[in-house]
Structure 1
Amino acid sequence: MITLLVSIAVLIAGYFIYGKVCERIFEIDPDRPTPAFSRADGVDFVALPRWKSFLIQFLNIAGLGPIFGAVAGAMWGPVAFLWIVLGCLIAGGVHDYFSGMLCIRNAGKSFTEIAGTYLGTPVRLVLRILTFVLLIMVGVVFFIGPAHIIAEIVDHEFFTVGIISGCILFYYLMSTVLPVDKIIGKLYPVFGIIFLFMSAAIFCALFYYDLPIMELQLSTIKNFHSGGTDYPIFPMLFITIACGAVSGFHATQSPIIARCLKSEKEGKPVFFGTMATEGVVALIWAAASMSFFGGVGELNVFMSENGGNAAVVVNKVCNELLGPIGGVLALIGVVVAPITSGDTAFRSARLLISDVFKISQKSMMKRLLLSGILFALALLISHTDFAVIWRYFAWTNQTLAAFVLWTIAVYLCQQGKLYWLALLPATFMTMVVVSYILIAPEGLFLPHPIGYGVAIGVAILLLVLFFRYRLQRRSPDS
């Protein structure tokens, strides 16, 4: 229990201290008009209260990520606590704060367009494709999953997966095309509060039942995963726990709320604050998963018996620790939360396409046309094996995070600011995503020495290119 309490305390302190460092380095201007006012259109650019912006951003970036990722990540043992805390502050907080603030400074543009400004046109094209694929996969994953869960709960011949999927997609369409303050602005704050209440209730239950949580010690910093050598801590854990540590998906959501903030002062609590809050949620669920079944070994057995389905863990933990109300909270956690990430994924995809092709979104007809194309593509992809979609979603997500961190590093370099803030996590995440795709069973499944060697080589190459770029900028002849 000490590890959990200390970890939460470090995240809270990190928000105030490291978040302030990021804010000072960025040099906010409270008097600078934000896109919510300079480009107000009543659809996507709408000024919202800070508390509402916080809850919307939190639910946008959270979804199932900090729960399912933490449950699966807990299979590696207490080292998950270490990654959540360090990843959240050093990588995730920097990633979310600067990507959000750069969106504000660039008229609320999608981050792919901003990245192209600093990394060049070829990277912009790659990121457009990568981001679009990620958003569509998130949308697909987060309507197929909830549809299956609802069908199992209702268990009625009329409410088939197809019928429920259609209902969810209709809701997605409405939340994608209607002004941000109509559905998202009204429902998200309510669901966000419920989501946080569920996590707080689980946290209290851990103390009430005095569940034995394995502490983080030198002797417990090892691989407890039942997959053994096929699932080493590096890079598997760092791909599995994304939301709650660092997630490229967050950068795709930043433009939505960057168009709604009323002042640059709101950037720290909304962008860095939601990342820290998500980290706390991930810590709670990692602790609950490790302790509820009696230990990490027992968690591994339960996950293996249930096909690695974290939803079963969430449902069991909520129902048995919280009683009847736990069932309702579990339903919200595994159904409502993913739906509220799926709809904003499609909305972000619409904004991305409109930014790329410079299509005004004031017209409802244009919004419907773009959304129709997105949903047709999503339905096509939905026929793919769900497990395949999920595996590559995780890798695509962290690959995007690496690109975002490199963009921030170059931006800080151009501004003559402390670029190491982003350079270190960018280099680390590069090694994570390269090694993962090379050695993972669902990747190329190469021998580990080869995968690690190539990953280190790619990271060194990018560092050399970065410092070469820095020297060229400092040269008086350049």
Structure 2
Amino acid sequence: MSSLTLIAIAIIVLFIAYLTYGAWLAKKWGIDPSRKTPAHTMSDGVDYVPAPAPVLLGHHFASIAGAGPIVGPIVASIFGWIPVFLWIIIGGIFLGGVQDFGSLFSSMRNDGKSIGHVIEKNIGQSGKKLFSIFAWLTLLLVVAAFVNIVANTFVSVPAAASASIMFIILAIVFGFAVYRKGVPLLIGSIVGVALLFSCVYLGILFPIMLSKTTWIFILLGYIFVASVTPVWILLQPRDYLNSYLLYAMIIGAVLGLVLYRPTIQLVGFAGFNVGGSYLFPMLFVIVACGAISGFHALVGSGTTSKQIANESDAKVIGFGAMLIESVLAVIALITAAYIGGDKLAELLKNGGPVNVFSNGLGTFMTAFGLPLSVGVSFTALAISAFALTSLDTATRLGRFIFQEFFEDNSKEVQSILVTNRFISTTITVVLGGALALVGWKKVWPIFGSANQLLAALALLSLAAYLKNQNRDYKMVMAPMIFMFTVTIFALGLLIKANLAAGNLLLVGFAVVLLILALVLVSQSYSVLFGNKKINSESNKSA
């Protein structure tokens, strides 16, 4: 089969889904363009800052993309390209799109607060506490993992380090120019994007070579600053400009596929048990961000909901960004599927999924005259830029969730831990950094299941919210039940495997997650399947 046919089918189906299913969801949930968003009603110049739709789409897309939609499909290709492709398309539309759009919407209707706050209002305070603890611990894993990913990339591709530093400086200048000096967004974007690609070129000319440990400490310092700085100075402009790297990468990949026309070599279906890994539930855990990811819900209900300027933007930002990411996931799958066999195994062994993706896109781009080395380097630079974006977004989300956890405590505790963003950020960065330096690899295998459990809990939160608002929530129930089933099976397999290996730490983590899931499901049962409502008075205005 031609990979060009595969990507064409994906783009057409996802675009139709955006126009039809996305519009249907917006109508069912009551998107109201005339309603003021938290970015306006709670504007503080730090976290709540209205952003134009293209800028916020860039931030949101850059934050949720990272390396997830690239790594997941390539690793999952062991099951064959057909099940991975089908899950990316079906999951992206009916699970990931619903979760991302719905999490952004429900947060937007609850003062831009996190999923934990929505759970508190619609399920109960204990549910919020349990979810907040789980989400914060998961974000520590995200910080630890992405610090290592970015540091490793900077060591192996020094050009990515220098280009990233120049990106940050450029973003600060762009933010001041657009938000404080009144430079029109269109003009600022044209100049900014031109300078952005100049940074890529200069990065290749002037690489920075430091040790991994040095980069880890530099990155920890950076994410602290990025978390406490007003979003208009760094987060919004950097993510917006960086999104053009990803758009360029996707366009280059599609154009390369049209001209190169690679044929799929990978087997269509390899079986339900491949090397001891079962298609169910592992396919749905491994693909992650390309179809559905709990981290997306944290982004939508953490930073994005505080910046959305008009409710009508929620469809393109929440639902649209997820579908674009599914396109990226299909491209990643093709980079593995067109190779197949021993060459794929060799690339995975020598550089991992990012190596497979970079070499694949670099090869496709040679079809329109781009040298292979330039294409491979550009792709690696783009991936590192988005891993860094996910990293600083995760740190800010960790601060938000940490602060919200202590909102109901005494005024003394609130004044120290809730209003002081420096303390909550320091705790998040220090603990995440400690995991990055000494222990994150020991708990990394649990991350995939934890991420998908987050997705199930986000869907649970959305279902309870819509039920209490007397709105249609049937489109949420099937995805929620499916994701809980997948997660519980995956955790069961993880517990079994690690008991046999004697790894009690991972067993403990898995058991805690399993208990958390069961407790929250139990607490929400009467809300979803009975007549119970939590704090219904406060929900009337939502």
Instruction: Output the TM-score relative to the length of structure 1.
Output: 0.87
Give the structure 2 partner of residue 64 of structure 1: 67
Give the structure 2 partner of residue 412 of structure 1: 466
2:288 matches 1:234: no
Could you tell me how far 1:97 is from its partner in structure 2? 0.7
Q: 1:288 aligns with which of 320, 335, 343?
A: 335
Q: 1:116 aligns with which of 114, 120, 123?
A: 120
| Aligned residue pairs, count | 455
Q: How does 1:129-278 map to 2 (within 5 A)?
A: 129-154=133-158, 159-213=210-264, 220-223=268-271, 227-228=274-275, 230-254=276-300, 255-278=302-325
Could you tell me how far 1:424 is from its partner in structure 2? 0.1
Change (3 A) 1:299 1:411: farther
Could you tell me how far 1:362 is from its partner in structure 2? 13
Overall identity of the aligned pairs, in %: 26
Q: How does 1:265-414 map to 2 (within 5 A)?
A: 265-291=312-338, 293=339, 295=340, 297-298=341-342, 301-302=345-346, 305-306=349-350, 309-322=352-365, 323-358=372-407, 366-414=420-468
Could you tell me how far 1:445 is from its partner in structure 2? 7.0
What is the one-letter code of the residue matched to 2:8? L
Q: Aligned partners of 2:158 and 2:316: how far apart in 1?
A: 39
SS of the residue 1:171 aligns to:
helix
Q: Aligned partners of 1:396 and 1:224: how far apart in 2?
A: 23
* CA offset digits 1:169-223 (Å, max 9, x no partner): 22212211110011112111111111121122122222322211269xxx93453
Q: Aligned partners of 2:292 and 2:447: how far apart in 1?
A: 14
Q: 2:47 aligns with which of 26, 44, 47?
A: 44
What is the one-letter code of the residue matched to 1:220? G
Change (3 A) 1:444 1:283: farther
2:529 matches 1:470: yes
Could you tell me how far 1:75 is from its partner in structure 2? 2.4
Give the structure 2 partner of residue 21 of structure 1: 24
Q: Aligned partners of 1:363 and 1:379: how far apart in 2?
A: 20
SS of the residue 1:382 aligns to:
helix
Q: Aligned partners of 1:44 and 1:157: how far apart in 2?
A: 32
CA contact (8 A) 1:244 1:278 kept: yes
Q: Aligned partners of 1:108 and 1:167: how far apart in 2?
A: 31
SS of the residue 2:50 aligns to:
coil
Change (3 A) 1:338 1:46: same
CA contact (8 A) 2:227 2:396 kept: yes
Q: Aligned partners of 1:439 and 1:445: how far apart in 2?
A: 11
CA contact (8 A) 1:202 1:288 kept: no
Q: 1:53 aligns with which of 51, 56, 71?
A: 56
* CA offset digits 1:310-332 (Å, max 9, x no partner): 12213322444432331332222
Q: Which runs of 5+ in 1 are unaligned?
A: 447-454
CA contact (8 A) 1:319 1:326 kept: yes
CA contact (8 A) 1:437 1:444 kept: no
What is the one-letter code of the residue matched to 1:62? A
Instruction: Output the TM-score relative to the length of structure 2.
Output: 0.77
Change (3 A) 1:442 1:275: farther
Q: Which moved more, 1:249-258 or 1:44-53?
A: 249-258
Give the structure 2 partner of residue 127 of structure 1: 131
Could you tell me how far 1:367 is from its partner in structure 2? 2.2
Q: Aligned partners of 1:472 and 1:224: how far apart in 2?
A: 41
SS of the residue 1:193 aligns to:
helix
What is the one-letter code of the residue matched to 2:315? K
Q: Which moved more, 1:101-110 or 1:163-172?
A: 163-172
CA contact (8 A) 1:72 1:310 kept: yes
Change (3 A) 1:208 1:133: same
Q: Aligned partners of 2:110 and 2:386: how far apart in 1?
A: 29
Q: Which moved more, 1:354-363 or 1:45-54?
A: 354-363
CA contact (8 A) 1:7 1:85 kept: yes
Superposed CA RMSD: 3.1
Change (3 A) 1:469 1:89: closer
Q: Aligned partners of 1:429 and 1:122: how far apart in 2?
A: 22
What is the one-letter code of the residue matched to 1:252? L
Q: Aligned partners of 1:427 and 1:110: how far apart in 2?
A: 22
Could you tell me how far 1:96 is from its partner in structure 2? 0.6
CA contact (8 A) 1:437 1:443 kept: no
Could you tell me how far 1:385 is from its partner in structure 2? 4.8
SS of the residue 2:157 aligns to:
helix
Q: Aligned partners of 2:475 and 2:523: how far apart in 1?
A: 17
Q: Aligned partners of 1:223 and 1:384: how far apart in 2?
A: 37
